[in-house]
Amino acid sequence: MNNQITLTQVKPDLHARPHTPTAHLSRWLRKHIQYVLIPIALALFLVLWQTIVVVNQYPEFILPMPTQVAASWFMNWQNGIIPRHLGITLIEIAFGFSIAFVFASVIGYVLAKSPLIEKIVSPYLVAAQAVPIVAIGPLILIWINTGIVQNALVAALIIFFPMLVNTIVGVRSVSAEHRALMRSYNANPWQVFAKLEAPAARPVFFGGIRVGITLSVIGVIVVELMWADRGLGFLLNFARGALDTPLLFATVATLSTMALGLYASAALLERITIHWRSEK
């Protein structure tokens, strides 16, 4: 009797996943399909671009081939031109974003906690936001002589209002029931902020950071295009004036890669913060 094998003992597990390399690769592709499709789409785009230039025989100053753009990028990277201007632009973005981040977070929190102060201050904030940055830029140019500070301040003005709104919305997303619960535990203001408001506002807050990072890149480049004598915006102007179209495309590619990297860094910081909070 002990040697008998029942049907339940030999019944295969229909839900078991195969562990072959092919099955593992298939599961990985389904989960990370974007990591495959994005390079393929980029490769197809470059092939199409190269084909259009070769077939139509466009001159280099009208539309260079991707290979010419790549050659220009490597040459200007090795001689230090692109790294130097990229470094200036990154410093301006970091400085401008930091200014906007600090002021938007503090002022946004105060306005979210005090509806009276918000009613008094909001009309002035909206009016200031309605003024074109191009109109304020010359004043900053007159008042401040340091080029990096000028560009960073203009970028901060562009970023400030969206981040301010996100901070207010995030803090006010906390429900009245949760606030009442914290009061029932006699929580002090710091505990309310650390245990309730900050975690609740985190998704909206990091959304504001991602928007701010994107706007900071736009703001700095616009300012550099207008009056800067260094930075990627200046390099765009220089390449355009010199009819160096390969350098122009190489600078645009550098700018796009930089913006994607900054946005990805903000998204990574959000994931790390959420993971750290969940472990606690």
| CATH number for 256 | 1.10.3720.10
Residue 105 contacts residue 167 (beta carbons within 8 Å) = yes
pTM above 0.85, yes or no: no
Question: What is residue 7's predicted lDDT score, i.e. its pLDDT?
Answer: 47
The per-residue pLDDT for 106 is: 92
By C-alpha distance, which of 120, 92, 211 is closest to 161?
Answer: 211
Q: Are residues 47 and 94 in the same domain?
A: no
Residue after which a domain boundary falls, among 11, 36, 56: 56
**Whether residues 214 and 116 fall in one domain:** yes
> Is there a single domain that holds both residue 201 and residue 117?
yes
Domain count across the chain = 2
If asked whether residues 102 and 191 sit together in one domain, one would say: yes
Q: Do 45 and 92 fall within a single domain? A: no
Query: Apex CA 160: angle with CA 155 and CA 163, to 5°?
Result: 125
Based on the fold, state whether residues 52 and 106 are members of the same structural domain: no
**131 and 160 housed in the same domain:** yes
118 and 144 within one domain? yes
Any domain includes 145: yes
Domain extent, residue 49, equals 21-56
pLDDT at 198: 83
Q: Which residues of 26-63 are buried (b: 16+ CB within 10 A; e: fewer)?
A: eeeeeeeeeeeeeeeeeeeeeeebeeebeeeeeeeeee
Give the pLDDT confidence score for residue 64 in this predicted structure: 94
pLDDT for 131 equals 79
Walk along the chain (280 residues) and give the pLDDT tens digit of each residue.
455 545 445 455 555 555 566 766 666 666 667 777 888 898 999 999 999 999 999 999 899 999 999 999 999 999 999 999 999 999 999 999 999 999 999 999 999 888 899 889 888 888 887 877 777 777 777 787 767 888 888 889 888 988 998 888 888 888 888 888 888 888 888 888 888 888 888 888 888 888 889 889 988 998 888 888 899 999 999 999 999 999 999 999 999 999 999 999 988 888 887 765 555 5
User: How far is 77 from 60, CA to CA, in rounded Å?
Assistant: 20
In order of 93, 146, 166, the CA distances from 270 in angstroms are 19, 33, 15
**Is 228 inside any structural domain?**
yes
